[in-house]
Structure 1
Amino acid sequence: MNVHLSTKGRWVQMRLGVFGGSFDPVHYGHLLMAESCREQLCLEKVLFVPAGQPPHKRQRQLTPAAHRLAMLELAIGGEPGFEICRYEIERREVSYTVETLRFLKGQFPQAELFLLVGADMLNDLPNWREAAEICRLAIPVGVRRAGTPPPCLESLRAIMEPSRFETLSRLQVDMPQIELSASEIRARVASGKSIRFRVPKAVEMYILHHGLYKDAPANGPVIKQSQVC
């Protein structure tokens, strides 16, 4: 699999953030979350992992991978702290977080991996496929929006090694409150509304040029990551 990492050969004993999602489309909320994690966790890189077909979104057909990947490249191109990992998108089958982490650990065995998720998802993580293995391969970090309570970590204690849980308990990433979702952006495009300042300009122009999301539901729900990731 092509991981598309420009500095792969030098990534030894580095701190790498793993940020998965459908990125359909990528927007400023994604970028702000990634940058908050990079800065506050002292990460050398944040790896954006666009999904092929995630298990929690089988009810909705994703935009073709080539478009989602192109928009992501436009959004983070030239940013030295961000890279794209194509592992899931090239598999073209249902992808689970644990499989992606195994792959990345195989590529970078000496790197310390941090799984970047929304703070509200940490309580659900024990229900994900091979949750204990996920926590062995990477330290899950919940990103908290301003004005929201800190995540409850107790549900993770039983599936994590004590030393790793202690590390997790000391980690917290805060980001500004920003109300953006990909489903809202798709709905705005479908209803002919502007998406300026919600996505990077290059992404906005790509969406308009290729006629993406014109048939999206006008009031689609904000879809959260499922327990089976």
Structure 2
Amino acid sequence: MTQKKSIKIGIMGGTFDPIHNGHLVTAEEALVQFKLDKVIFVPAGQPPHKEVRKSLDSVERYLMTVIATASNPDFEVSKIEIDKEGPSYTIDTVREFREIYGDEAEIYFITGADAILEIITWRDAKKLAKMCKFIAATRPGYCLKKFKELHVIPNENKEPEPGKLKVYIMEIPALAISSTDIRHRVLHGYSIKYLMPEGVANYVLKRKFYR
């Protein structure tokens, strides 16, 4: 009898304010490198530890993410965080996906390196270590000192010690693009062409976001 193959899922977390090509390249690279069955984009609802700057409405960020990912059959978008009242914690999000896909599913949480450092130092890191692995997307040349100080194991095949997080470091040149820079460019009337999907850029300009 053939053993059923467990599903491998990437959860792409982020504010996506706005989503840009760096996010999409990151998700595609994770999909290929880790042989994932799909990547689910999860726009943040109310982040627990920020924000100094008020984010765009969560529904608008969700719609932009849908527009950006619509042409890729391996990408999905979930409203799991934006439909939730109160702060969105990574452990709660991962737990919900674990309930949906079962204990046999391999779950990889994909986000920026700085965001992962925040996640693993703030809330239930030991529980998270049992529930998923992490893919930390970085720009080339990103300093990994903080990861080493936390005894996280980047890019090694051996399994971490019990209670230690498994973090894979994935360099993405396109992460030189940032949502902050895009908002700045819109505000000052500079071009955002080729920094994000054309449909998203048109939506941002039509709705007069970030002005």
Provide TM-score, normalisation by structure 1: 0.78
- SS of the equivalent of 2:204 reads helix
Equivalent position to 2:150, from 146, 155, 176: 155
Contact 1:147 1:177 in 2 (8 A): no
* C-alpha separation in 2, matches of 1:35 and 1:155: 28
Equivalent position to 1:117, from 111, 119, 143: 111
How large is the RMSD of aligned CA atoms in angstroms? 2.6
1:20 aligned to 2:13? yes
For residues 99-158 of structure 1, give each alpha carbon's deviation from its aligned partner in whole angstroms, at most 9, with x where no partner exists: 101111011113110111334555544312111111111111223433445573562559
For residues 193-225 of structure 1, give each alpha carbon's deviation from its aligned partner in whole angstroms, at most 9, with x where no partner exists: 1111111110011011111111xxxxxxxxxxx
Task: Supply the AA of the counterpart residue of 1:42.
Answer: K
Contact 1:40 1:173 in 2 (8 A): no
Equivalent position to 1:61, from 35, 49, 54: 54
Task: Supply the AA of the counterpart residue of 1:162.
Answer: E
1:65-214 equivalences in 2 (<5 Å): 65-109=58-102, 110-148=104-142, 152-153=147-148, 155-156=150-151, 162=161, 168=166, 171-176=168-173, 178-214=175-211
* C-alpha separation in 2, matches of 1:186 and 1:177: 17
Taking a change above 3 Å as real, the CA distance of residues 81 and 100 of structure 1, as seen in their structure-2 partners, is same
Taking a change above 3 Å as real, the CA distance of residues 121 and 70 of structure 1, as seen in their structure-2 partners, is closer
Task: Supply the AA of the counterpart residue of 2:49.
Answer: H
1:32 aligned to 2:25? yes
Contact 2:23 2:175 in 1 (8 A): no
Taking a change above 3 Å as real, the CA distance of residues 125 and 153 of structure 1, as seen in their structure-2 partners, is farther
Identical aligned residues as a percent:
32
Taking a change above 3 Å as real, the CA distance of residues 164 and 174 of structure 1, as seen in their structure-2 partners, is farther
* C-alpha separation in 2, matches of 1:12 and 1:89: 31
Contact 1:190 1:213 in 2 (8 A): yes
Match of 2:156 in 1: none
- SS of the equivalent of 2:150 reads helix
Task: Supply the AA of the counterpart residue of 2:122.
Answer: W
Task: Supply the AA of the counterpart residue of 1:114.
Answer: Y
Contact 1:139 1:164 in 2 (8 A): no
Which ranges of structure 1 fall in alignment gaps of 5 or more residues? 1-10, 215-229
* C-alpha separation in 2, matches of 1:45 and 1:26: 18
Provide TM-score, normalisation by structure 2: 0.84
Contact 1:12 1:111 in 2 (8 A): no
* C-alpha separation in 1, matches of 2:108 and 2:36: 9
